[in-house]
């Protein structure tokens, strides 16, 4: 089976349900408090494993119970954890998350050990890079580490999917080594400086990213679906998503990326892979938490087939 390499963050999510996301200076009284495993890298690794991929995860955790519990969870999902480093005297990554009654969230992250994952660690994980068919990476680790990881993939001609989250500016040296980029609306606006109010805005942002050397651009637009632009496969177009009642959108983007990576490694077309990724994300937003909400491949395939006719076309 083809192997998916995920390089990225591992966090523990401390989640409070609130009536509304607090504004600056405001205190809101919430209800339930829960602790779940999270982190964009880890969520994507778990999503890819549950989608049926053979996953190697390169990450860093602290020498605390949060880190050891997180790694136990990845092992339960049959993820190869040989290249997860445990940093002494360092806290594991923590995310404080407020989830509103509308299912929206606000997230603050203390990176902790995630920022100790270094460019040298990428070189030491040579075997993992050698074995991988495709690498999936995000931006909750340092840009120097992301840069080295994409350089190694370029040397090995390994495909790179970059999920540029959380939003930040990126150097050309990362963009021009990226095969597929998957920003959401806000991340695409931050990267390109182009407002994405409609399909035309998405087209302009995609053109900007193509000029930087990215071959395939997939801009996720929440419940509306995703804008796909890949000049080699035709003009830019919307791939509609599935309309569901969201209770918690945390990690929906991560689930999308994990499932997308597996479907592409299986040789599915971009349209089909995006459809499956929408299906997995639609299932995840109907449950609370990050990794707790990630579906297994059978559920995704069933939902995709059952709802193809109802793809949301707005």
95 binds ligand RIB (CB under 6 A): yes
Residue from 6, 13, 80, 280 in contact with ligand RIB (CB under 6 A): 13
290 binds ligand RIB (CB under 6 A): yes
159 binds ligand RIB (CB under 6 A): no
Output the smallest distance, CB 109 to ligand RIB, in A. 5
Are the C-beta atoms of residues 1 and 267 closer than 8 Å to each other?
no
Quick one: 189 or 254, whose CB is closer to ligand RIB? 254
C-alpha dist (Å) from residue 151 to 59, 148, 226, 285? 18, 5, 28, 34
259 binds ligand RIB (CB under 6 A): no
The DSSP annotation for 83-141 comes to: TEEEETT-PPEEEEEEE-TTS-EEEEEE-GGGGG--HHHHHHTHHHHHHEEEEEE-SSS
248 binds ligand RIB (CB under 6 A): no
Buried b (16+ CB within 10 A) or exposed e, 175-205: bebbbbbbbbbebbbbbbebebeeeebbbbb
Residue from 70, 87, 191, 251 in contact with ligand RIB (CB under 6 A): 251
Residue from 4, 5, 15, 40 in contact with ligand RIB (CB under 6 A): 40
**For strand 226-229 and strand 216-220, is the pairing parallel, antiparallel, or unpaired?**
antiparallel
Span 102-131, contacts to ligand RIB by CB under 6 A? 107, 109
Q: Is 254 a catalytic residue?
A: yes
Q: Which segment (35-43, 51-59, 144-152, 273-281) binds ligand RIB by CB under 6 A?
A: 35-43
Q: Would you give the DSSP letter of residue 242? A: B
Quick one: which H or E segment has residue 252?
Answer: helix 252-265
Residues acting as catalytic residues: 254
Site residues for ligand RIB per CB under 6 A: 9, 11, 13, 38-40, 43, 95, 107, 109, 140, 250-251, 253-254, 290
């Amino acid at each position: 089976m083809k192997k998916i390499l995920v390089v990225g963050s591992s966090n523990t999510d401390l989640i409070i349900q609130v009536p509304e996301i607090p504004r600056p200076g405001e205190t809101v009284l919430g209800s339930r408090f829960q602790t779940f495993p999270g982190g964009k890298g880890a969520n994507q690794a778990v999503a890819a494993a549950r989608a049926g991929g053979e996953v190697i995860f390169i990450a860093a955790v602290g020498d605390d119970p949060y880190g050891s519990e997180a790694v136990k969870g990845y092992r339960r999902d049959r993820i190869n954890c040989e290249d997860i480093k445990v940093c002494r005297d360092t806290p594991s990554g923590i995310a404080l998350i407020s989830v509103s009654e509308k299912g929206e969230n606000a997230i603050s992250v203390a990176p902790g050990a995630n920022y100790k994952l270094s460019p040298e660690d990428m070189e030491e994980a040579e075997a993992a890079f050698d074995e991988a068919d495709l690498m999936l990476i995000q931006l909750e680790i340092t840009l120097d580490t992301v840069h080295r990881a994409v350089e190694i993939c370029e040397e090995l001609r390994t495909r790179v999917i970059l999920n540029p989250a959380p939003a930040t500016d990126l150097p050309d040296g990362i963009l021009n080594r990226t095969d597929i980029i998957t920003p959401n609306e806000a991340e695409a606006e931050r990267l390109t400086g182009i407002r994405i109010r409609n399909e035309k805005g998405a087209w302009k942002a995609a053109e900007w990213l193509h000029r930087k050397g990215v071959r395939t651009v997939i801009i996720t637009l929440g419940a509306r679906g995703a804008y796909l632009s890949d000049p080699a496969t035709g003009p830019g177009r919307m791939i509609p998503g599935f309309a569901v009642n969201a209770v918690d959108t945390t990690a929906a983007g991560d689930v999308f990326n994990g499932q997308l990576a597996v479907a592409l490694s299986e040789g599915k077309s971009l349209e089909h892979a995006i459809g499956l990724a929408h299906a997995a994300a639609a299932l995840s937003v109907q449950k609370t938490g990050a990794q707790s909400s990630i579906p297994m491949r059978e559920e995704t395939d069933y939902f995709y087939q059952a709802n193809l006719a109802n793809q949301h076309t707005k």
